Structure 1
Amino acid sequence: MSQPPGPLRPDQQQEIVRQIGLALASQAPPGWRQLRIEYRAAGRHVEADLLVTGPDGLPRPAQPHPEAVRLLGVLRSGMYQPGRGTWLGMICVFDPAQPPDVDFVRPDLEPPFRQQPPALGFQDELRFFPRADEQIPAWLREKAGLTPPVSDGEVRTPRIYDGLDAAGKPLIRRQPLVPAEAERVLAYLDAAPVILASRSYGPDAFAPDRDDAVPMNFRTDGAWAWPGAVAYYLREHGVPPDPDLVAHIRARRFTAPSEVTEEATDQALAAITGERPQTTV
């Protein structure tokens, strides 16, 4: 593949989705209740996982029909937008009594690949589906080797929640994490080096009766710096971290560094305290 094919009209996209459902249903057991296929791609790297819910209501993994996998590739190519690229991950759910439910992975988030594609796969992605520079998300830029996977010197800090309601209670406007991913995010948050330690604990904004519950320490991975409240609220109340931080953790494959450089530590402390790090001559 050297050039993306012409764009598909919305009705053509719907027809391809319908054909995908027919191909999957042709191998499903009689009386099936749901077909759920998850498709991920980067360049020539393709993954397709199918769950079939049978008459007993239990979902079981199955091998997707090759024609369905081919049509998913056609759909992905046909949805390419010049300068903006195309989606790299999607989930499609088929129900006998409902229209298909199609959900595309946001472009700023890395799809949860079962096997990490090589850098060449992401380079091919940008070659097959060219993007304007400003349309290349940070995680894709890093995976394709366009920039080194290091901090640009500006350490970010997350939003703990998304504001307060009229009663002063915290508001959350974020997609929840599935339990398996929440555990991996927690492991990352807890594994990063501590840069500010404290034996003190603060009040729980979601449970005001807990006066001394939230850890007051800070950690960093060199690109982000976060308070202990981030992991605490995820663990205790299921509050997902700042979506940008979650995207960053996914891009790093949930692997936190065991140590960071002195310069990164200084930048993280500056981000926390609001003071510029001192330089030596």
Structure 2
Amino acid sequence: MNQPPGPDQQRELVRQIGAVLTAQLPPGWRQLRVEYRAAGRHVETDLLVTGPDGVPRPASPHPEAVRLLGVLRSGMYRPGLGTWLGAILVFEPGLESPSADFVRPDLEPPFRRPPPPIGFQDELRFFPRAEEHIPGWLRERAGLTPPAAGGEVRTPRIYDGLDASGRPLIRRQPLPPAEAEQVLAYLDAGPVILASRSNGPDAFAPDRTDAVPMNFRTDGAWAWPGAVAYYLREHGVPPDPDLVAHIRARRFTAPAEVPEPAKDLALAAITGEQP
């Protein structure tokens, strides 16, 4: 396995990047400015070349220089902390040490074109970070759920009580069909954190004795039983209004990944056991 480049090798990489890029410049150039931004496989490389007339003009980067910039970024990864997502290198003729400014790993560089969520998800896969070193903007861009506030995970009410005959009561506004589909998709997207091999009885259809999924899912902020999605799908019963409000606030987009510590907190909220 190759070892990541050390400081001397990093400086050598910067020198190589400059050599590759300046080799394609016309005589008399005064300055070469390189702006590199990356998130996972999403890469942007912008060049500005100042010619003899003092006017900076954009230029196309050499593919080898782009590759070396990626090697440099990978080599500066620090376990648990991540690596930078943006850098600015400035080269000038006769200047032995180019100017190099690396954006702090907790800051988002000004991307020319916003990377898709998969770019930021790949970023966290390629360069893993400890929970405390994933800034809010990166968590949001990657579609990750925020850590539960104060370590609390909420659980919903399945219905609003029972009538005199023991049948469940519903005192909630029904969801429009289109929104119900979005809510169902969100509920079904949460990872299962607890499951039984058997199903339970349907409280709204007593003849269905083996119909309701006996599992729990979570998005890191809420933990809900399979009955919530089942009753919405089968009987049009809207979920707990607070859970619906939460899903709406997230624009019906479930987190791409729920961290293991958040799953542990959700499981503790269900079982009452400490994580």
**3-state SS of 2:79 partner:** coil
- Which residue of structure 2 lines up, in the alignment, with residue 97 of structure 1? 94
Find the aligned partners of 1:109 and 1:135 in 2 and give their Cα distance: 11
Q: Does 1:69 align with 2:76?
A: no
How far does the alpha carbon of each residue in 1:150-186 deviate from its partner, in whole angstroms, 9 at most, with x for none? xx79xxxxxxxxxxxxxxxxxxxxxxxxxxxxxxxxx
**Unaligned 5+ runs, structure 2:** 151-248, 250-275
2:104 maps to amino acid: R
Q: Does 1:58 align with 2:45?
A: no
Q: Is the Cα contact below 8 Å between 2:106 and 2:133 reproduced in 1?
A: no
Q: Which residue of 2 aligns with 1:144?
A: 142
Letter in 1 for 2:65: A
C-alpha distance in structure 1 between counterparts of 2:92 and 2:65, whole Å: 16
The one of 26, 30, 47 aligned to 1:29: 26
Distance in 1, matches of 2:57 and 2:32, equals 10
Letter in 2 for 1:36: R
Q: 1:117 aligns with which of 88, 99, 115?
A: 115
Aligned position for 1:128: 126
- In structure 2, C-alpha distance between the alignment counterparts of 1:29 and 1:139, rounded to whole Å: 41
TM value normalised by structure 1: 0.51
Matched, 1:20 2:13: no
- Given that residues 30 and 92 in structure 2 are in contact (C-alpha distance below 8 angstroms), is that contact kept between their aligned partners in structure 1? yes
Q: 1:7, 1:81 within 8 Å by CA — same for their partners in 2?
A: no
Q: Give the Cα–Cα distance (whole angstroms) in 2 for the partners of residues 147 and 49 of structure 1.
A: 33
CA distance in 2, matches of 1:67, 1:18: 13
Report if aligned partners of 1:42, 1:121 keep a CA contact under 8 Å in 2: yes
Q: How far apart in 2 are the matches of 1:107 and 1:142?
A: 15
1:127, distance to aligned residue in structure 2 (A)? 0.2
Distance 1:14 1:24 in 2: 16
Report 1:148-187 matches (<5 A).
none
Alpha-carbon contact 2:81-2:105 (below 8 Å) kept = no
Confirm or deny: 8 A CA contact 2:38 2:44 kept in the other structure. yes
What is the CA-CA distance between 1:7 and the residue it aligns to?
2.2
Q: Which amino acid aligns with 1:138?
A: G
Task: Give the deviation of 1:146 after TM superposition.
Answer: 1.0
Percent identity between matched residues is: 76
Superposed structure 1 runs of 4+ greater than 4 Å apart? none
- Higher-Rg structure is 2
Give SS of 2:33's match.
strand
Letter paired with 2:106: D
Matches for 1:175-254 after TM superposition, within 5 Å = none
Q: Structure 1: which 5+ runs fail to align?
A: 154-260, 262-281
Find the counterpart in structure 1 of residue 170 from structure 2: none
CA distance in 2, matches of 1:43, 1:100: 26
Is contact 1:45-1:117 (8 Å) kept? yes
Secondary structure in 1 matching 2:138: helix
Q: 1:6 aligns with which of 3, 6, 22?
A: 3
TM-score (norm: length of structure 2): 0.52
Counterpart of 2:118, as a letter, is L
Distance in 1, matches of 2:43 and 2:3, equals: 21
Separation (CA, whole Å) in 1 of partners of 2:18 and 2:64: 10
